[in-house]
Structure 1
Amino acid sequence: MELHVVINGRKDLAEQLYQQLREAIESGRLAAGAQLPPSRLLAEQLGVSRKTVSDTYTTLTYEGLLIGKTGRGTFVNAHALRAKQLQSATDLACAANLAKWQTLPSPMRHPTRDSTLRYEFIGGATTRSLFPQDEWRRCTQDALRRAAQNSGFYSQPEGLPALRSAIAGHVAFSRGVNCRDDDIVVCNGAQQALDLIARVVLEPGTIVAMEDPGYTPARLLFEAMGASVACVPVDEQGIEVALIPDGTRLIYVTPSHQFPLGMPMSLPRREALLARALELGAIVIEDDYDSDFRYEGRPTHSLQSMDQWGMVAYVGTFSKSLLPELRLGYAVLPPVIHGAVLKAKQLTDQHTSTLAQWALAKFINEGYLLKHIRRCHTVYASRRERILSRLAGDLSPWFDVVPSVAGFHLAALCKVPVNIALLIELARQVEVGLYPLDVFFHQTPVRSGLIIGFGAIETLDIDPSLDKVRTILQQIG
């Protein structure tokens, strides 16, 4: 690596080298984890003795700024903290706003690779081994060839025509969505779609109605924009439409697979929701996050397909059907907000990566996506049945499952008092990742339980991990 060090004269060589390396580490010019040159090479470049460099490395290692790795070299300690702060946050005029953002929780944040447990029941994650690497590689290679032929200009903020056409065909076939290519805006995941719609619809103080329990990142997003979020209870038919308050400007729902409980919204409730939105003049966001996977009953069309007045913005993602890391999602927008959302997208990030867009367009058009969904459906159905069997069997004294027909997570409600926090803590000690349900409740009374994802855990790991959970439940009573 290039390391900028200047030695003046022949006095205090070790001290000069020490001060410059320390300052580089503390200022961040030498980033955490960066490898330093071997002592022999640096000594030759600086015209000093190797002992001078070695002694300096030793001193900085003793102070915790460097770390030696046998057989690999000397690195900046990843845990070393910058000693100097250019300015304290409390000195800034925006200190209060910074504090507000810093205190926001991070619900549903996935663990890093190093902190992932052996058995993970986290929601919203997929199995890496199921991802069709060969097919995706071919699509990516094709995307690289197309990118090489482009002009070098920025692309369209709404997304590549090829991908918008592919998405329109896919959602019309799989979800009955009524749309044209021009109705679609390609986004960096569904979360950006929510952000863009909220930006153009909301003003500080305006009312957003959403399900409670519900998707906490959406609520935090709306609140961060200054909206007043009305958390509306749900029952077995979905959001209780009669409780949506007057003055509501935006309604956020998950009708196909209510998040997090899992039940679908009934047809009468959907009709009532559309009627209420029309009465209020409100935009409805339909977040159809994982309904590619359905296991029971007849398929239900999207809420958007029932919309006769142009009020429903349909939001979808490929994070659940493919991989979360791809960050590819989309919004099917009613004409009344389409132009405004397009301007917001352009101002936010210009456009989503065209390389990923070209690859996904080919992936859909070649039939790889539907093939992959069918393959995953078979695997997820097997995992779901195994978990349901255990929840109806030896885990039934503690939990009741909420009936669900789609997606790849289940909600298990406590039948008896269970210390969920202790259960989760003890489960982590035996490499089982469990996740609480209560973080998704905001104003309605909390119902204790677990959200059990089965996208990331291998089928053969379900029984051994749930055996451990049962043992812990027996121990803690």
Structure 2
Amino acid sequence: MELHISLNGSKGLAEQLYRQLRDGIDSGRLTAGTQLPPTRLLAEQLGVSRKTVAEAYSRLTYDNLLSGKVGKGTFITPAPTHVPAAASSIALASAQALEKWLARANPLADMRSSPVRYDFIGGASSKGQFPFDDWRRCNQYALRQIRTSSARYAAHQGLPELREAIARHIAFARGVRCSSADVLVCNGAQQALDLIARVLIEPGCKVAMEDPGYTPVRQLFLAQGADLQYVPVDSEGLCVEQIDDGTRLIYVTPSHQFPLGMPMSQARREALLARAAALGAIIIEDDYDSEFRYEGRPTDSLQSMDRHGLVAYVGTFSKTLLPELRLGYTIAPPALREALCIAKQLTDWHTPTLNQWALARFISEGSLLKHIRRVHEVYAARRARIVQRLQGDLAPWFEVIPATAGYHLSALAKGDLDVQFVIDMARKVEVGLYALAPFHAQAPVRSGLLIGFGAIELLDIDPALDRLRDTLQRLDGLAS
């Protein structure tokens, strides 16, 4: 065996050889069980003394990285197997609290655990559409800003430049009435929701949310000790008249109900605002993906209709840009603003400044609106093709729920179709499908599919749905 080793100069040769062999072992290039050349042979190959090689081998042996076998040679030692520490036999005083957190299941996390070739996962955007060159240029700008700024923590509410850019953008795109002073920059919408829950929810207080609804929010509210009321939805959205007296907080997704997809009607929005005013309750408006609209006239945000300072508007750039950026915000009502800022400061002080500068530049130079317009056409084509198939050859098994925005839609199962069994069979042919059932907290559960089209390419839709149709036909054949 001849190793690729390069020694420079005439001094420190043993150290150089040791370091290069150590790096090869640590990086995995030299794997466990590999036999190294004898000291005499390696010395001849490198043109150094045998003593130099022996010294390097000796140091590696001392580090438990090499071992000698009599009559066989020198070998790289397998890394020691990690033995977990024995569980403590002491009963923890916090055991009950830990059990509660272990019960906070999230079906959305399971969706991302095992990728398939054709994936209709919800909430994921297409990285192929992301303007990486524009974002790289904005990051370079951000680095220049940080380099010239004082080495201090930034404002916990967010960079003034980004807050101003966000206020202008959502006023233009969603009709939100706010100034930069109302904007709190967060690590994604999930942190914005967490902060609102922290400052408003106390153990036992009443909180209302849609059912079916966004499971991470449900688990978040329960973790804060909320007495959670699951309010049903119909074709017009949340059934407002069923909200309990004494409710302190109401969570809704009015522009694109999650997960079913229908928008809340104007009459229902007005009723919700009136009910919240009567209760003195705060409304969380989660406007997670309504910038992508395909049919009908744009609807006003609930926040723009609020005349009493009761709506906390939550938005995110995870859907328009990339989830990995972890950038979101809330438009806080005046009564909540200071408390939310304190909670943000105590949580993580502020959102990473590099990303804030980059996003501020990205929005201000018009790249965000340009990107939204471009991907809107892409998503519209994907959505149209899925709807066409659901209303065509897949119509015997599914009924699509009308939705005008976002980049997922839902389809209800017809008859006694076993949706989970269909999902399991589809995964065997590399098609990722996802059930509506996990998003329900109470019966009756609507059996069907949540179909995301943000991450699947247009040319992959027909092959994937062909496989689904063939699977359904085979199941029908077995049942007959």
TM-score interval, smaller chain? 0.7 to 0.9
Quote the RMSD (CA, aligned, Å): 2.4
Name the residue aligned to 1:44.
56
Name the residue aligned to 2:260.
261
Q: Distance in 1 between matches of 2:232 and 2:27?
A: 51
CA 1:348–1:76 in 2, change beyond 3 Å: closer, same or farther? farther
Q: Is the 8 A contact 2:309 2:335 kept in 1?
A: yes
1:196-244 deviation digits (Å, cap 9, x = unpaired)? 0111111000011000011111010000000011000001111000000
CA 1:471–1:75 in 2, change beyond 3 Å: closer, same or farther? farther
TM-score by structure 2 length? 0.85
Q: Give 1:102 deviation, angstroms.
A: 1.6
CA 1:210–1:390 in 2, change beyond 3 Å: closer, same or farther? same
Query: Which range is displaced more, 237-246 or 415-424?
Result: 415-424
CA 1:42–1:219 in 2, change beyond 3 Å: closer, same or farther? farther
Q: Distance in 1 between matches of 2:325 and 2:77?
A: 34
CA 1:48–1:462 in 2, change beyond 3 Å: closer, same or farther? closer
Q: Distance in 1 between matches of 2:178 and 2:61?
A: 72
Q: Distance in 1 between matches of 2:284 and 2:464?
A: 37
Correspondences of 1:105-116 after superposition (within 5 Å):
105-109=105-109, 115-116=114-115
Name the residue aligned to 2:84.
83
1:341-377 deviation digits (Å, cap 9, x = unpaired)? 0000000000000000000000000100000000110
Q: Is the 8 A contact 1:43 1:49 kept in 2?
A: no
Q: Distance in 2 between matches of 1:230 and 1:56?
A: 68
1:442 and 2:441 matched = yes
Name the residue aligned to 2:473.
474
1:22-45 deviation digits (Å, cap 9, x = unpaired)? xxxxxxxxxxx9759878699826
Q: Distance in 1 between matches of 2:367 and 2:190?
A: 25
- How many residues are matched? 427
Name the residue aligned to 1:335.
334
Give the residue type in structure 2 aligned to 1:192: Q
Q: Distance in 1 between matches of 2:61 and 2:182?
A: 68
SS at match of 1:418: coil
CA 1:303–1:43 in 2, change beyond 3 Å: closer, same or farther? farther
Gaps of 5+ in 1: 1-32, 58-67
1:96 and 2:96 matched = yes
CA 1:228–1:327 in 2, change beyond 3 Å: closer, same or farther? same
CA 1:48–1:141 in 2, change beyond 3 Å: closer, same or farther? closer
Q: Give 1:46 deviation, angstroms.
A: 4.2
Q: Is the 8 A contact 1:126 1:323 kept in 2?
A: yes
Q: Is the 8 A contact 1:232 1:244 kept in 2?
A: yes
Give the residue type in structure 1 aligned to 2:85: K
Gaps of 5+ in 2: 1-25, 37-52, 70-74
Correspondences of 1:60-459 after superposition (within 5 Å):
82-85=83-86, 87=88, 91-109=91-109, 115-459=114-458
Q: Distance in 1 between matches of 2:376 and 2:450?
A: 19
CA 1:146–1:470 in 2, change beyond 3 Å: closer, same or farther? same
Q: Distance in 1 between matches of 2:55 and 2:229?
A: 66
1:269-316 deviation digits (Å, cap 9, x = unpaired)? 000000000000000000000001000000111000000000000000
CA 1:43–1:460 in 2, change beyond 3 Å: closer, same or farther? farther
Segments ≥4 residues shifted beyond 4 Å: 33-43, 52-57, 73-77
Which is higher, the Rg of structure 1 or of structure 2?
Answer: 2
CA 1:82–1:425 in 2, change beyond 3 Å: closer, same or farther? farther
SS at match of 1:164: helix
Q: Is the 8 A contact 2:67 2:77 kept in 1?
A: no
SS at match of 1:91: coil
Give the residue type in structure 1 aligned to 2:328: G
Name the residue aligned to 1:13.
none
Q: Distance in 1 between matches of 2:357 and 2:201?
A: 32
Percent same amino acid at aligned positions?
59
